[in-house]
Amino acid sequence: MRSALAVLSLVVVSACGGAPQQAPPPAQVTFATPLQREVVDWDDYTGRFVAPEDVELRARVNGVITAIHFRDGQDVRKGQPLFTIDPRPYRAALMQARAQIARAQAALTNARQVTARSRELAKAQAVSAEELESNVAAERSAAADLAAGRAAASQAMLDLGFTTVRAPFSGRISDRKVSLGDYVANGQTVLTRIVSIDPIWFEFEGAESFYLKNLRQDQRGERGSSRHTANPVQIQLADEQEYRWHGRMAFLDNAVDPNSGTIRAHAVVANPTGFLTPGMFGRARLLGSGSYRAMLIPDEAIVTDQTRRLVYVVSKDNKATPRPVEVGAKVEGLRIVRDGLAPTDRVIIAGIGRLQPGVPVTPRKGVIKADPTKQPAPTKPIDEPASGQATVQ
C-alpha cells in the first residue's frame, strides 16, 4: 500500500509542473544597412536684418521749409528731391558773389595793364623801381581778390544747392520730422531718416567654437573661411517653414568679443522687392563643412544609454549587438552617424523595444528611405561646434 502511494505522489508532482519550461522564441526585428549620401553640414544662427546704409537727414543750411516732396514711408531713388528750404536768400547771395567776381576781374585787368606799362617805362628808366614793385603788388592783390570772390561764389552755389535736400542713396524713407513753415538750423534739425534695403545685410553672432571649427576647416582645405570666401547663407523668417532667402557671407569681424565669446558677422542678401525690412528677425544656416560621404539611419534606431548613443546591429550568429555611435545632424528625416558603424553593418531599425545585448533575433531585411520633405526645424545657436542640419549634395 505504501509503495503504491509513493508512486502516485510522484505522478502527481510531475503533472503539477515539474517539467522544464521552454525558452521564448527569438525576437522579430527588421534590419537594413546604412543609407549613404554625399552631404554638407550647415551651422545654425539667429540674427536680424539691418540696412547697409542708415542715415538721419539733417538740414545743411538755415531757413524755412517751403516744400516736402515725398510720402511718409515710401521708397525713394538716389538724388530724388525730398525737402525744399527757402532758396531766395541763397540765390541772392550767389548773385552778390558773382557781382564781386566781376568787380575783382575788372580790377585785375586794370592792374595788369598798369603793371605792363610800368615794365615798359622801367626799361627806359622812366619810372622808379619802387613804383614798379607797387604796381606788381597791386596786380597780385587784385588776383587774390578775384580768387576770394570765386571761392565765395562756390560757397554760395553750394548753399543754394543745399536748399534742395535730396536722397543720398536709394532706399526707404521714414516719416517727416518737420512741417511746412518750420525753421530748420544747419546741422541741427533732423528732417527724416532713410535706410537702404536692396541689398540688405543679415547680421548675427557666432560662438567662438564655431569660429575655431571653421578656421580648422579652412586650414585643412575643406571649406574656405568666411573672412575671404563668400560662403552661402540660407535664411528663414519667423513665419516660414523653408529657407527661401539666400545670401553670401561678406564680413567677419577682426576680434572675438571677450565678454560674450562671440564674433560678429554679416551676409549680403538680395532684396529686389523690398520685402525684407531692417530689424526683421531670422534664422540662418551657414555652410559648415565641405562635402563628405555620410551614413544615414532613422532616429528610431538610436537608443540612449545615459550619456552614450547606441544602435543594435545583427551579428553573424543573429544576435543583437549594441554598438556605441557618434551622431551628427539630421537630413531628410534621417540622422547622420559620424563614427561607430560600417557601411555593411546590419542595423536594427524596427523591433528594438525589448532587445537585450546578446539575445538571439529573427532578422528580416528592410530598407532605409530618405524623405526630402522632412527637414528639421532650425535650432538656436549652441556652444558646442556641432552642426544642426545637413543637406544632400
Using CA atoms of 242, 390, 331, 378 in order, give the dihedral in degrees to the nearest 10. Answer: -40
Adjacent-strand bridge partners of 304: 309
* Residues in contact with 363: Cβ distance below 8 Å, sequence separation at least 6, in sequence order: 29, 30, 31, 314, 318, 346, 348
Burial of 269 per CB tally in 10 Å (0-12, 13-18, 19+): buried
The helix (run of H) or strand (run of E) holding residue 52 is none
Residues 299 and 337: their CA atoms lie apart, in Å, by 10
Residues 129 and 120: their CA atoms lie apart, in Å, by 12
Q: What is the pLDDT along the chain (393 residues), one digit of tens a residue?
A: 455 444 445 444 444 555 556 667 788 889 888 988 888 888 889 999 999 999 999 999 999 999 999 999 999 999 999 999 999 999 999 999 999 999 989 988 988 888 888 877 877 777 777 787 888 888 888 899 899 999 999 999 999 999 999 999 999 999 999 999 999 999 999 999 999 999 999 999 999 988 998 899 889 888 888 899 899 999 999 888 888 999 999 999 999 999 999 999 999 999 999 999 999 999 998 887 777 788 888 888 888 877 888 888 988 888 888 889 888 878 888 888 888 888 888 988 888 877 888 888 888 898 888 887 765 544 433 334 456 666 666
Contact call for residues 269 and 316 (beta carbons, < 8 A): no
Adjacent-strand bridge partners of 268: 201, 248
Q: What is the CA radius of gyration of the chain?
A: 42
Note the pTM of the prediction, 2 decimals.
0.70
Using CA atoms of 248, 209, 279, 195 in order, give the dihedral in degrees to the nearest 10. Answer: -50
